[in-house]
Amino acid sequence: MMTHFRQAAWLVILTALTAGRVQACPFCSAVSQTFSQEMATMDVVVIARLVTPPPPDAKPGTGKASRAVFEVAKVLKGASHLQPHQKIETVYYGKGKPGDQFYLTAVDPPRLMWSTPVKLTPRSAAYMERLPGLPKEGAARLKFFLEYLEDDEDLLRQDAYDEFARAPYQWLTGLKGELDHGKLVQWVHDADIPVSRRRLYFVLIGISGTPKDNAWIERLLRSDDKRSKAGLDALAACYLTINGARGLPLLEKLYLANPDAEYVDTYAVIQAIRFHGSSSDRIPRERLIQSLHLVLDRPKMADLVIPDLARWKDWSQIDRMAELFREADEQTTWLRVPVVNYLRVCPLEKAKKTLEELRKIDPQAVRRAETYFPVTGAAPSAKKTPQDR
């Protein structure tokens, strides 16, 4: 019986593959709301100077008064709700001296409710002031954040990364002429760079790189050191972006057709291929499908690629699916449900006949697929839509 893990994995894959939406940076995960997003939800956003700090002994939970007084220095949003140089009194437990600058937001005018003040440096204050005037979308917006990706200030470095993590891949490709390729390569070789940001930099290297990068990229791909391969999904996608279909044989040899390749590594390369099949025109989808066929020869991992083959309307594997179903043993019996789903969405008469033959072998597996994965409408189209690109 398919384990709960495999059921969940199938649902996640199926949902991700059939969702019609513009994809953000494909291998990045935003950590927090960006300042621009926060500003959009607030009624008032200001930069203010500290006038009266809270008492030195004010600490959370002590009952000591912790209110500080600030004076508005610049209004970034909601000027109609404030007076020039208005004083603001709000709770603040941090350290600061009169004259220090802070970022504050508020909601519910006219009696504004102020958020916790965020201390700023002159550099971060200048950063905040420019946010409201940035283009709302496109590479022109991201260009501003490029110089802050590895900024010395945590506040700016994190916000810049989150802006990139949320940006559609098309925005990133528009930055090609603006990227400092040498700096990006330096960053991915820096052991102190978190994996999340390393993934982003691999994506950007793919956009700005050339085959001259192959030597060091291939060295990482071949490495047995997990730390060197951190972010393998983005690394493999980067390699394919630079080399196109010429990059597939190496990935096939190392990961897809290699029975000794670890599960997580193989899955990472599948993710890279999935990205190129859905969000990039660099490699013909037919060639990517050939690579995924190799995974069908590894029954314990075959379920990872079956949804992709169905979504991309590759109906050439009906006989192979039937073989996987028939040969499933105690270790791979859960594979039968993905096989059934592939045959259910296939429009060919051969698939219908094959499904009925398999129903006689294991009617419970077919019933589970029909119960837990209802199919409505035809199989997803293989033609790329604007959302795919």
Q: What is the pLDDT of residues 281-321, one digit of tens each?
A: 999 999 999 999 999 999 999 999 999 999 999 999 999 99
- What does the pLDDT read at residue 58? 58
Asked if residues 288 and 308 have their Cβ atoms less than 8 Å apart, the reply is no
Among residues 210, 265, 277, 268, which one has the least CA distance to residue 239?
210
Between the alpha carbon of residue 139 and those of residues 162, 163, 180, 281, 330, the distances in Å are: 15, 11, 15, 19, 51
Rounded Cα gap, residues 35 and 134, in angstroms: 12
Domains, the chain, with CATH or none: 4-23+168-372 (1.25.10), 36-133 (2.40.50.120)
Rounded Cα gap, residues 247 and 267, in angstroms: 17
- What does the pLDDT read at residue 134? 98
Name the CA radius of gyration of the chain, rounded. 26
- Tokens 């309307």 — which residue? 313
Q: How far is CA 330 from the centre of its chain?
A: 35
pTM of this prediction? 0.87
- What does the pLDDT read at residue 109? 94
Rounded Cα gap, residues 199 and 284, in angstroms: 24
Asked if residues 84 and 51 have their Cβ atoms less than 8 Å apart, the reply is no
- What does the pLDDT read at residue 331? 85
- What does the pLDDT read at residue 57? 65
Residues with Cβ < 8 Å from 136, sequence gap 6 or more? none
- What does the pLDDT read at residue 231? 95
Asked if residues 10 and 310 have their Cβ atoms less than 8 Å apart, the reply is no
Write out residues in the chain with pLDDT < 70, as ranges.
Answer: 1-24, 57-65, 375-389
Written in H, E and C, the secondary structure of the chain is: CCCHHHHHHHHHHHHHHHCCCCCECCCCCCCCCCHHHHHHHCCEEEEEEEEECCCCCCCCCCCCCCEEEEEEEEEEECHHHCCCCCEEEEECCCCCCCCCEEEEEEECCCCCEECCCEEECHHHHHHHHHHHHCCCCCHHHHHHHHHHCCCCCHHHHHHHHHHHHHCEHHHHHCCHHHCCHHHHHHHHCCCCCCHHHHHHHHHHHHHHCCHHHHHHHHHHHHCCCCCCCCCHHHHHHHHHHHHHHHHHHHHHHHHHCCCCCCHHHHHHHHHHHHHHHHHCCCCCHHHHHHHHHHHHHCCCCHHHCHHHHHHCCCCCCHHHHHHHHHHCCCCCHHHHHHHHHHHHHCCCHHHHHHHHHHHHHCHHHHHHHHHHCCCCCCCCCCCCCCCCC
**HSE of 287 in the Cβ direction (CA atoms, 13 Å)?**
13
- What does the pLDDT read at residue 382? 34
Asked if residues 60 and 99 have their Cβ atoms less than 8 Å apart, the reply is no
- What does the pLDDT read at residue 379? 41
| Phi and psi torsions of 307, nearest 5° | -60, -35
381: left (phi over 0), alpha (psi -120 to 50) or beta: beta
- What does the pLDDT read at residue 389? 28
